[in-house]
Chains A and B, each alone.
Chain A
């Protein structure tokens, strides 16, 4: 069974139809790249999947369980949306780290708040927090920032900030991790360190969806590639198919602009 199944997802802003029916599915451990021209709807798609926007049509299912179905009239409660979100993680183009917290605090915040609402206050919670800190420090170690735990975001380079953001998303153990152009806001010499972290996650079989303009990277790491243009999937297939033997004229044009 597919881990993530998206069916005919649509999103309009007033009159403007941004997503016109996107369908795809992915297996556990799969790595899917989304490419396409600016304004095509890639960011909107990720935002819909993370419920930052509520889709106007279609459905989203995880592990066979429907999280969202636009045709199902019942409105989803705030609480339910929050629970649904925890299946997913999102890494933003511009990191969005919390500036008032250190790298470690950024990564640990959500877990600690969860523990607080479950364990209440007191000694038990202290112990839980210490465990969370240890666990988050280890995560930061995995993204190569074990020596930067107590640094504030403004004391870190863009590449380091993005790696903290990745650790922050990983801390909640999402089933699918989404990246929206994770290296677009970075100086070219800093993209490598972030891409290396993502590649390592791919090797560890983290299920990931990556919107990217790094064609070489997409071709190298992904199992499946979507080319999204004008709110529709214009091409879909293995990296070899999409990059080496594109069927649509639009895809050829787009890829041509990267050569």
Chain B
């Protein structure tokens, strides 16, 4: 029994990890793009971007999963995701990337705007190009500022992966819960909790280590 449960939980955890990894991989660059969009001088870009960010951050991720997955099929009569397991997984990842990118973008924007104007100007009077100023002056200060809040989002993301079950992507909690019905046991659910604790504990250590690495300067 124990073996069966562990195998099942491992499978579920692997799904969760995939969603976690892909969300970071896609969400961080997309978040930067959205951040620049929301800071654009060009109103026609800034306004829609800010509206989208507001909508995404103002509604539950679970609702977004349902709408993104079922919406195209019902509204357009064309289920772009396909009905398969893979299709549901893709829909989940796309939703997560988009949702987290919006949260990240706000953090990036705060981080970029938080760098004092004088830093940029000091670079300008030294004859640096805008690209040099971004990469050699601003970026490191932005990174230092955003590591703690991004860390919080990342820890939240670990736990948010459990939401994908609403569109039947079988992550770890679903895999634990099924043993209640099939075998009348609840300890697998407690075990899922351990997986989360271990993984978020590991991430917390990693994030703490990064923060410490950045301690050599103050902003």
Q: Are A100 and B140 in contact (CB under 8 A)?
A: yes
Q: Does A143 contact B (CB under 8 A)?
A: no
| Cβ contact of B122, chosen from A82, A86, A96, A100, cutoff 8 A | A96
CA distance A89 to B129 in the complex (A): 16
Q: How far is the CA of A97 from the CA of B129 in the complex (A)?
A: 17
Q: A253 vs B95: C-alpha distance in the bound complex, in angstroms?
A: 67
For residue B216, CB closer than 8 A to chain A, the reply is yes
Number of B residues with CB within 8 Å of any CB on chain A:
22
A16: shortest Cβ distance to chain B, in Å? 19
On chain A, the residues within 8 Å of B118 by CB distance are 92, 94, 96
Q: Which residues of B contact A109 (CB under 8 A)?
A: 126, 136
**CB-CB under 8 A for A85 and B141, given A99-B219, A154-B218:** no
| 0/1 string, B181-218, CB within 8 A of A gives 1 | 00000000000000000000000000000000000111
Bound complex: CA A36 to CA B29 (Å): 49
Find out whether the CB atom of B127 lies under 8 angstroms from the CB atom of A99.
Answer: no
Q: Known contacts being A113-B132, A154-B218, is A96 close to B127, with CB within 8 Å?
A: no
Q: Are A50 and B218 in contact (CB under 8 A)?
A: no
0 or 1 for each of A79-106: is its CB under 8 Å from B? (1 = yes): 0001101101110101011111100000
Interface string of B116-141 (1 = CB under 8 A from A): 10110110111111101000110011
On whether the beta carbons of B122 and A92 are closer than 8 Å, the reply is yes
Interface residues of A in 124-153 (CB under 8 A from B): 152-153
**Does the CB pair B129–A100 fall under 8 Å?**
no
Q: Is there an interface contact between A168 and B124, defined as CB atoms closer than 8 Å?
A: no
Q: How far is the CA of A168 from the CA of B122 in the complex (A)?
A: 10
CB distance from A219 to the nearest CB of B (A): 28
Given that A110-B127, A113-B136 are contacting pairs, would A154 and B122 also be in contact in the complex, using a CB cutoff of 8 Å?
Answer: no
**7 A–B contacts, CB within 8 A, in A order:** A50-B125, A52-B124, A78-B130, A94-B118, A96-B121, A110-B128, A154-B218
Shortest Cβ distance from residue A47 to the other chain B in the assembled complex, whole angstroms: 8
A153 to B119, CA, bound (A): 13
Interface size on A, residues (CB 8 A): 29
The answer, yes or no, to whether A114 is at the interface (CB within 8 Å) is yes
Q: How far is the CA of A209 from the CA of B124 in the complex (A)?
A: 19
List residues of chain B with CB within 8 A of the CB of A172: 126-127
Q: Which residue of A lies closest to B124 (CB)?
A: A52
How far does the Cβ of A148 sit from chain B's closest Cβ, in whole Å? 15
| Contact in complex: B127, A85 (CB < 8 Å) | yes
* Cβ contact within 8 Å between B125 and A90: yes
Write out the residue numbers on chain A whose beta carbons fall within 8 Å of the beta carbon of B144: 100
Contact B125 A89 (CB under 8 A): yes
Q: Chain A nearest CB: distance from B218 CB in Å?
A: 4
Assess the B127–A98 pair: CB atoms within 8 A.
no
Which residues of A have CB within 8 Å of B216? 100, 152
Known: A100-B140, A154-B218. A82 touches B127 (CB 8 A): yes
A102 to chain B, nearest CB (A): 9
A153 contact set on B, CB distance < 8 A: 217-218
- Which has the most chain A C-beta neighbours within 10 Å: B127, B132, B219? B127
| A94 and chain B: residue at smallest CB distance | B118
Nearest-CB distance from A117 to chain B (Å)?
A: 9
- With A52-B121, A96-B119, A100-B141 already in contact, the answer to whether A86 and B217 are too (CB < 8 A) is no
